[in-house]
């Protein structure tokens, strides 16, 4: 591994024949620690902080903490630069979650409703699984919201129904919550983790409110629940990229821009795909680097 050419998404390895191989990833797969570069692991583990049991991803570049149940705490993300957003459940105490890999499932947070939290490389996403039309008629579902508590930051509405947290000390956007998306069970294989084939999702927006002296993240549920012919369960993904930006500013896609030389066999990828500006949403690309 060539340390000077290594980044969270980019790895260059020296080969015995004097050439180099460069591997590009469209999402971070490693992080730099005091002991050098280590692989990212989003697997969730229980740990104790300040005398309380919490749930955290094993090894990611930002500080994500999930509630372990027994309180209203849902998720906190901290950029390790003094800025944070904490989300909490406004409808009482969350149950202890079932953990599988990078997924924590809190069952029956409301009658017929599960909360699913998923750890990612740079943040956390959350999905509400609404199991039936009866569950969807619950006034708490109809008026779904979460409590927000920003540390050293101000949360405001941004373009497209997104929310941003601007650092009180920097004046820059430090944390970002994108607009939501939702899907029902009309597609085969639909689940809280996957809209199924062909993966139809529909957007919805958030707004900010106030309740009991707390800032709230308000869901645009009306557009979802008024959709005809819904097939339950339906899945409402909020904050699909509650992510830290400062110091981990990564693009949504990798834009490949380099001159293409040599045969398709040498490159392992076609000239058609590797034209300048080709965009791919997710993947790993392995290319030889000529000396």
What pLDDT does residue 285 have? Answer: 46
Residue 27 pLDDT > 90: no
Count of CB atoms situated within 10 Å of the CB of 51: 5
Among the ranges given (5-14, 29-38, 129-138, 254-263), the one the predictor scored with the smallest mean pLDDT: 254-263
Q: Which residues, 6 or more positions from 137, have their beta carbon under 8 angstroms from its beta carbon? A: none
pLDDT-based confidence at 123, cuts 50/70/90? confident
Higher pLDDT, 246 or 121: 121
What is the tens place of the pLDDT at every residue in 232-282? 999 999 754 555 544 444 433 333 333 333 333 333 333 233 333 333 333
Residue 69 pLDDT > 70: yes
What pLDDT does residue 281 have? Answer: 36
Residue 209 pLDDT > 90: yes
Domains of the chain, residue spans:
1-30, 40-244
Count of CB atoms situated within 10 Å of the CB of 129: 21
What average pLDDT does range 110-125 have in this prediction?
A: 92
Considering the chain, what is the average pLDDT of its residues? Answer: 80
What is the tens place of the pLDDT at every residue in 154-207? 999 887 777 888 889 988 888 877 778 899 999 999 999 999 877 678 888 888
Question: Rounded to two decimals, what is the model's pTM?
Answer: 0.78
CA 31, 37, 40, 41 torsion-angle sign: negative
Residue 74: what are its φ and ψ, rounded to 5°?
Answer: -105, -70
pLDDT-based confidence at 129, cuts 50/70/90? very high
């Amino acid at each position: 591994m060539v340390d000077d050419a290594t980044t969270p998404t980019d790895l260059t390895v020296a080969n015995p024949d004097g050439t180099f191989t460069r591997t590009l990833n469209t999402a971070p797969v490693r992080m730099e620690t005091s002991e050098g570069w280590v692989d990212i692991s989003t697997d969730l583990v229980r740990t104790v902080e300040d005398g309380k049991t919490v749930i955290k991803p094993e090894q990611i570049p930002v500080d994500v903490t999930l509630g372990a149940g027994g309180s209203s705490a849902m998720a906190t993300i901290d950029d390790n630069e003094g800025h944070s957003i904490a989300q909490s459940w406004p409808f009482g105490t969350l149950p202890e979650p079932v953990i599988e890999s990078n997924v924590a499932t809190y069952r029956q947070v409301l009658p017929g409703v599960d909360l699913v939290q998923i750890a990612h490389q740079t943040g956390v996403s959350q999905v509400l699984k609404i199991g039936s039309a009866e569950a969807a008629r619950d006034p708490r579902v109809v008026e779904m919201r979460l409590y927000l508590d920003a540390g050293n930051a101000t949360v405001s509405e941004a373009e497209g129904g997104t929310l941003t947290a601007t650092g009180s000390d920097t004046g820059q956007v430090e944390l970002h919550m994108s607009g939501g998306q939702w899907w029902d069970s009309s597609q085969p294989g639909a689940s809280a983790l996957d809209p199924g084939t062909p993966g139809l999702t529909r957007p919805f927006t958030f707004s900010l409110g106030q309740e009991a002296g707390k800032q709230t993240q308000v869901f645009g549920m009306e557009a979802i629940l008024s959709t005809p012919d819904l097939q339950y369960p339906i899945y409402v993904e909020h904050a699909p990229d509650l992510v830290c930006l400062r110091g981990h500013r990564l693009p949504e896609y990798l834009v490949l821009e380099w001159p293409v030389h040599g045969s398709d066999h040498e490159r392992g990828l076609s000239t058609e795909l590797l034209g300048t500006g080709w965009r791919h949403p997710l993947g790993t690309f392995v290319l030889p680097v000529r000396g």
